[in-house]
Amino acid sequence: MLDTMTGPDLTIEHVRAAHARIKPYIHETPILTSEYFNDLTGAELFFKCENFQKAGAFKVRGASNAVFGLSDEMAAKGVATHSSGNHALSLSYAAGRRGIPCHVVMPRTAPEAKKAAVRGYGGIITECEPSTTSREAVFAEVQAETGAEFVHPYNDPRVICGQATCSLEMLSQIENMDAVIAPIGGGGMISGTCLTLSNLAPQMQIYAAEPDQADDAARSFRAGHIIADDAPVTVADGLKVPLKENTWHFVSHFVTDVLTASEQEIIDAMKLTWERMKIVMEPSCAVPMAAILRNPEVFRGKRVGVVITGGNVDLDKLPWTLD
Identity of the residue, 78 or 183, whose beta carbon is nearer to its own copies in the bound complex: 183
322 binds its own copies (CB under 8 A): no
> CA nearest 121: which of 185, 188, 67?
67
**Residue 320 within binding range of its own copies, rule CB under 8 A:** yes
Q: Shortest approach of its own copies to residue 252 CB, angstroms?
A: 33
SS3 33: coil
Segment interacting with its own copies, rule: CB under 8 A, options 141-149, 162-170, 183-191, 274-282? 274-282
Residue 316 in the binding site for its own copies (CB under 8 A): yes
Contacts of 132 (CB under 8 A, 6+ apart): none
Of residues 38-67, those binding its own copies (CB under 8 A): 51-52, 56
Q: What is d(CA 198, CA 135) in angstroms, rounded to the nearest whole number?
A: 36
The helix (H) or strand (E) run that includes residue 134 is helix 132-146
**What is the contact mask toward its own copies in residues 16 to 35, using x (rule: CB under 8 A)?**
--------------x-x---
Identify which range of 94-102, 151-159, 175-183, 277-285 contacts its own copies by CB under 8 A: 277-285
- Of 48, 38, 19, residue with least CA distance to 309: 48
In whole angstroms, how close is the CB of 54 to its own copies at the nearest point?
Answer: 8
Q: Which residues contact 178 (CB under 8 A, 6 or more apart)?
A: 204, 205, 302, 303, 304
Cα-based distances in Å from 55 to 103, 170, 192, 214, 215: 17, 20, 19, 25, 27
Compute the distance between CA of residue 98 and CA of residue 181 in angstroms, rounded to an integer: 32
Q: Which is nearer to its own copies, 164 or 280 (CB)?
A: 280
CB atoms inside a 10 Å sphere around CB 269: 23
Give the nearer residue to its own copies in terms of CB position, either 111 or 130. 111
* Residue pair 192/164 in contact by the 8 Å Cβ criterion: yes
The distance of closest approach from Cβ of residue 192 to its own copies in the complex, given in angstroms and rounded to an integer, is 21
Which CB sits closer to its own copies, 26 or 128? 26
Range 284-313, binding its own copies (CB under 8 A): 311
Count of residues that bind its own copies according to CB under 8 A: 19
Integer-rounded Cα radius of gyration of the chain? 18
Window 159-198: contact mask with its own copies (x via CB under 8 A): ----------------------------------------
Binding status of residue 274 toward its own copies by CB under 8 A? yes
Which contacts of 223-227 are long-range, i.e. CB under 8 A and separated by 24 or more positions?
224/252
Residue range at the interface with its own copies (CB under 8 A); choices 18-26, 37-45, 239-247, 267-275: 267-275
Would you tell me which residues interact with its own copies (CB under 8 A)? Answer: 30, 32, 51-52, 56, 271, 274-275, 277-281, 311, 315-316, 318, 320-321
